[in-house]
Structure 1
Amino acid sequence: MKHPPQRNSICLEDAKILTHHAYPGDQHIMRLQAPRCAARAKPGQFVHLTVDPQRPLRRPISIMRACADEGWIDLLYKRVGEGTTLLTARSAGEHLSTLGPIGQPFQIREKRPLLIGGGVGMPPMVFIAESLRHSEYQPMVILGSEVPFPFTPQPSSILLPGMPDGVIATMPLLDDWDIPCRLASQQQMPGVYQGYVTDLARRWLDSLETQARQEVGLYACGPHPMLEAAVALAREYALPVQVSLEEFMACGVGACAGCSVEVQTGKEPTMQRVCVDGPVFDGYQVFA
């Protein structure tokens, strides 16, 4: 089996926990001092962490931010099982064995990237947005959650066409970067669109003139049903679409092939590994 070239850039580091904060909904944001990973990380890539010395199997977690100058990375994760429960007990000052960055990143090709993140699929979208903040690209970010967001939503200072009345809540960090963002949830949250992220994305797309809509590319990460809906939305508007998949994995570096998924790359489907052939794939090839 051919080894993807990016596998040669994976670093093994004894990363120090700088900060570790808990948020409602069993969500946590951890900052790690991992300079080699931070220098190489790209949006869509992840790290493979040893969550506890007594647990040999690592856990994959998407990179939300990376600062090459200061050598840190930020990770957002949700406590869902034994591994992440053990991770929640780790404190600032402790060290975690860290492999990363791993995987194929997003490739931003369109002038107006529409970034859709749901739940723990939000981090890659934040990473993309930060990477584009000083570029000629014009990103639009839509984030969704069915538990409280791992930040305090605030009214946005950026006016957006196509938004329903009262839908003004944003992620403060994105507003500080002057990047338009709106939030969606089926829960009752002030200023947040009540519904699916893809429904809110449709409202935004319909507000664009034809020429502007032709400059849009869709990028998504989140639960499988959300990704399927995002690809259906892209197909409806004839947009290019990339999706980041989340799968259970053992080795995380392509050796075990335990995270393989079916991808339509030609006349017949093939099995590809989410860890190194992905996690980012052409959405039409995954949801053919």
Structure 2
Amino acid sequence: MNRPHRDSLFLEQAEILSHEAFEGDQFILRLQAPKCAARAQPGSFVHLQCDPLQPMRRPISLMRVSAREGWVELLYKAVGQGTRLLSLRQRGESLSLLGPIGVPFRPDPDRSLPLLIGGGVGMPPMVFLADTLRSDKSKKPFVILGSEVPFPFQPQPSQLLMPQLPEGVIAAMPLLDDWGIPNRLTSQQDFPGCHQGYVTELARHWLDALDADQRDQVEIFSCGPHPMLEAVTTLAKEFELPCQVSLEEFMACGVGGCAGCVVELETPAGPAMKRVCVDGPVFDARQVFV
């Protein structure tokens, strides 16, 4: 059996370096996990034991990684028993971490305008991907992040002007702004400076402002709720753009053994069942949303 993850998957006792709480039951967790950090790529995730009382692990996407310092950072929302137990864990405690897991995003070296779209707890892979892309001077990414609860950071007016966007849409993630990566925020909750609507509406504004040659340089990457990913895929098809999506599915083992996270894809050979954990979580959007 082909197991491409076998030589790059590690089990570690990861020490909690910091654990911050935000509105909307959101938490940012930083863990010392040098083996995972050394091999993680944008789109990969970890399978985390939230608490000794909850043996079933939870899959959580990686948001930031420092291979040099050996830490990984996760954003999660406490929505069930496991993540609520996780939210109680304190700095200095250790968690059992399995990772990095999954197929990462694969930017096309010949396309210079990556469009990154993240929604809710689908924001972390977009931040990780943006961090990776900023070291490539040939890439000029634009990031759109959407949330219907307060963002797990303090939005600020962007210092990076984007005249092609609607007037007043100025709210940005400070971290991305500090990296010099243009980004804007969307919501339907009347948050100041945000685009009042869907992430795809703001993406359309940006795409419509490009000329034909610029649009040929665009590729889309996205992670978020299923309906959002379907809408992003529809937009990509309309503009005839390549699109990669990271799927969010319930998982048991997280390493491909239980087949509990299987989804149906449309492949050149016909319909095929693929495991989100190890065959994904990143797939060609057109194979997922036919």
TM-score normalised to the size of structure 1?
0.98
The whole-number CA distance in structure 2 between the counterparts of 1:172 and 1:82 is 32
Partner of 1:119: 120
Q: CA deviation at 1:134?
A: 2.0
Deviations 1:232-271 (A, max 9, x none): 0000000000000010000000000100000111242110
The whole-number CA distance in structure 2 between the counterparts of 1:8 and 1:206 is 44
The whole-number CA distance in structure 1 between the counterparts of 2:82 and 2:140 is 38
The whole-number CA distance in structure 1 between the counterparts of 2:56 and 2:112 is 40
Residues 98 and 119 of structure 1: is their aligned pair in 2 closer, same or farther, counting only changes over 3 Å? same
TM-score normalised to the size of structure 2?
0.98
Partner of 1:247: 249
1:102 equivalent to 2:101? Answer yes
Partner of 1:270: 272
Residue identity opposite 2:248 in structure 1: E
The whole-number CA distance in structure 2 between the counterparts of 1:266 and 1:259 is 22
The whole-number CA distance in structure 1 between the counterparts of 2:49 and 2:61 is 14
Tell me the secondary structure at the aligned position of residue 252 of structure 2: coil
Partner of 1:69: 68
Q: CA deviation at 1:56?
A: 1.3
CA contact (8 A) 1:4 1:277 kept: no
Q: CA deviation at 1:90?
A: 0.4
Tell me the secondary structure at the aligned position of residue 107 of structure 1: coil
The whole-number CA distance in structure 2 between the counterparts of 1:263 and 1:116 is 22
Partner of 1:190: 192
Tell me the secondary structure at the aligned position of residue 47 of structure 1: strand
Tell me the secondary structure at the aligned position of residue 186 of structure 2: strand
Residue identity opposite 1:67 in structure 2: S
Q: CA deviation at 1:117?
A: 0.1
The whole-number CA distance in structure 1 between the counterparts of 2:273 and 2:205 is 35
Give 1:85-234 correspondences, 5 Å limit: 85-109=84-108, 110-135=111-136, 136-234=138-236
Partner of 1:54: 53
Residue identity opposite 2:175 in structure 1: L
Tell me the secondary structure at the aligned position of residue 5 of structure 2: helix
Residue identity opposite 1:219 in structure 2: F
CA contact (8 A) 1:161 1:207 kept: no
| Runs of 4+ displaced beyond 4 Å | none
Pairwise CA RMSD of aligned residues?
A: 0.8
Q: CA deviation at 1:55?
A: 1.4
CA contact (8 A) 1:47 1:98 kept: yes
The whole-number CA distance in structure 2 between the counterparts of 1:205 and 1:4 is 39
Partner of 2:43: 44
Residues 208 and 4 of structure 1: is their aligned pair in 2 closer, same or farther, counting only changes over 3 Å? farther
Partner of 2:78: 79
The whole-number CA distance in structure 2 between the counterparts of 1:267 and 1:281 is 16
The whole-number CA distance in structure 2 between the counterparts of 1:202 and 1:59 is 34
CA contact (8 A) 1:7 1:253 kept: no
The whole-number CA distance in structure 1 between the counterparts of 2:176 and 2:106 is 20
Tell me the secondary structure at the aligned position of residue 5 of structure 1: coil
Percent sequence identity is: 65
Tell me the secondary structure at the aligned position of residue 130 of structure 1: helix
The whole-number CA distance in structure 1 between the counterparts of 2:2 and 2:147 is 35
The whole-number CA distance in structure 2 between the counterparts of 1:3 and 1:14 is 27
Q: CA deviation at 1:175?
A: 0.4
The whole-number CA distance in structure 2 between the counterparts of 1:116 and 1:206 is 16
Q: CA deviation at 1:133?
A: 1.0
Deviations 1:37-92 (A, max 9, x none): 00000000000000011211100000001000000000000011111000000010
Tell me the secondary structure at the aligned position of residue 149 of structure 2: coil
The whole-number CA distance in structure 2 between the counterparts of 1:266 and 1:215 is 25
Deviations 1:161-182 (A, max 9, x none): 3211100000000000000000
Deviations 1:103-140 (A, max 9, x none): 00000112111000000000000000000112121110
Residue identity opposite 2:8 in structure 1: S
Structure 2 unaligned runs (5+)? none
Residue identity opposite 1:43 in structure 2: P
